[in-house]
Amino acid sequence: MENKSKVGIVYLIYSDEPHKYLADAIEGVVAQNYPKNLMELIVIYNGLRADEPSMEEYTRIELEKNKDRLPHTTFLPQKTNLGFSGGNNVATKVAIEMGVDYIFLHNADAYMGPDCLRIMAEGLDKDKTIGTAQPLILLHPETNLINTAGNAFHYLGFGYGNEYRKDKNNVTLPDVKDVGYVSGAGTMMRADLLKQYGLWDEDFFMYHEDTDYSLRLRYMGYRTVIMSRAEFFHKYQFKKSTGKYFWMERNRYAILLIYFRIPTLILLFPAFVISELGLNLLSWRGGWWPERKKAYQYWMKKESWKLWLKKRAFIQKNRKIRDRDMFKYSVGGIYFQEEGMHSRIHTIANCGMEIYYYLIVRTLIWW
């Protein structure tokens, strides 16, 4: 198939990430089996932490050094951290103005396999029902192990990577497969749908913004898929940072509020309350209760409800599928192979959530 679609690669970096990751990302772009004249590279330096030197000039020098090998490149340094959604949106707007057909969001700590863009662009060219797609995201340096084969969406708003740390040679995946939501670490989007249904929601700031965009498109009638022959390598490290829990929980509640109908929320409420009690106990023992408390305090503000109810109104007015259809792509348990994910408490919790999912959620929700 002759490549005709123009692709904008949005590469978001922050803090000291250029020094650690930029070189490999550049080599991944250079190695693409895709016409150079059909690629635009937009690099955005998304600010830095306090009391650390800026890597803006370093990034500029490295891009200049490789300009003859790279496609046309635009560098967009920012003075402050705009968040994951905000930073990506700055570059996405520039890419759309350049007339690209697709935008590929490229995590800082990752690099593309040689056929990544070609396979994904051809897949989107072929099937117009696909709204957004991700490649098979593999780990680095254990490049035979999967980071995520598409993300699983749990009916209470949680999410995790499918097939995590499984050997790709032992996992059978179709070339294209529908998934709960695509990973924001590496995802290709249609420029026309971004213009029609909006960019990534900056009010999420970080965490669950990929869930939101995937669900937004699915509720508008589009597919969210993994294209498993396209490969993307992620230098992923599981980090136990208590600071992330505020954003994760605040935004998880927002996802539930925005997308599910009132009868669905009522039906989910008993399972939600039980899960909250369990999470509060775990957070107390694990030292991240203050972050959960901050999330609760956020949702006690009138302005917070006003903000998210406005988003809910848009989705509920324009949605094209039922909640029941959405739950076809959800899961009942949380299965993620990291430390603490195989305790007896976790096993019991999963059992309870699975029972509720199949007996209540999948059976009673027909709207």
Asked whether the predicted pLDDT for residue 340 surpasses 80, the reply is: no
Q: What pLDDT, on a 0 to 100 scale, did the predictor assign at position 105?
A: 99
Q: What pLDDT, on a 0 to 100 scale, did the predictor assign at position 49?
A: 82
Q: What pLDDT, on a 0 to 100 scale, did the predictor assign at position 337?
A: 61
Q: What pLDDT, on a 0 to 100 scale, did the predictor assign at position 160?
A: 95
Asked whether the predicted pLDDT for residue 184 surpasses 80, the reply is: yes
Distances (CA, A) of 284 to 138, 238, 289, 350: 34, 21, 5, 20
Q: What pLDDT, on a 0 to 100 scale, did the predictor assign at position 62?
A: 98
* Maximum distance among all Cα pairs of the chain, rounded to whole angstroms: 60
| d(C-alpha 279, C-alpha 64), whole Å | 49
Asked whether the beta carbons of 32 and 116 are under 8 A apart, the reply is: yes
Q: Using one digit for the tens of pLDDT, what is the confidence trace for 309-339?
A: 999 999 999 999 999 999 999 999 998 766 5
b/e for 9-46, b at 16 or more Cβ within 10 A?
bbbbbbbebbeebbeebbebbeebebbeebbbbbbbbb
Q: What pLDDT, on a 0 to 100 scale, did the predictor assign at position 2?
A: 73
Asked whether the predicted pLDDT for residue 345 surpasses 90, the reply is: no
Domain ranges of the chain: 7-234, 245-364
Asked whether the predicted pLDDT for residue 201 surpasses 70, the reply is: yes
* Among candidate residues 249, 230, 245, the one with its CA nearest the CA of residue 188: 230
| d(C-alpha 46, C-alpha 48), whole Å | 7
Amino acid at 134: Q
Q: Using one digit for the tens of pLDDT, what is the confidence trace for 298-309?
A: 999 999 999 999
Q: What pLDDT, on a 0 to 100 scale, did the predictor assign at position 217?
A: 98
Q: What is the mean pLDDT of residues 3-9?
A: 94
Asked whether the predicted pLDDT for residue 6 surpasses 60, the reply is: yes
| d(C-alpha 302, C-alpha 297), whole Å | 11
Band the pLDDT of 125: cuts 50, 70, 90: very high
Asked whether the predicted pLDDT for residue 280 surpasses 70, the reply is: yes
Q: What pLDDT, on a 0 to 100 scale, did the predictor assign at position 126?
A: 97
Q: Tell me the fold of 7-234.
A: Spore Coat Polysaccharide Biosynthesis Protein SpsA; Chain A (3.90.550)
Band the pLDDT of 166: cuts 50, 70, 90: very high
Q: What is the mean pLDDT of residues 240-254?
A: 89
Asked whether the predicted pLDDT for residue 241 surpasses 70, the reply is: no
Q: Using one digit for the tens of pLDDT, what is the confidence trace for 126-154?
A: 999 999 999 999 999 999 999 999 999 99
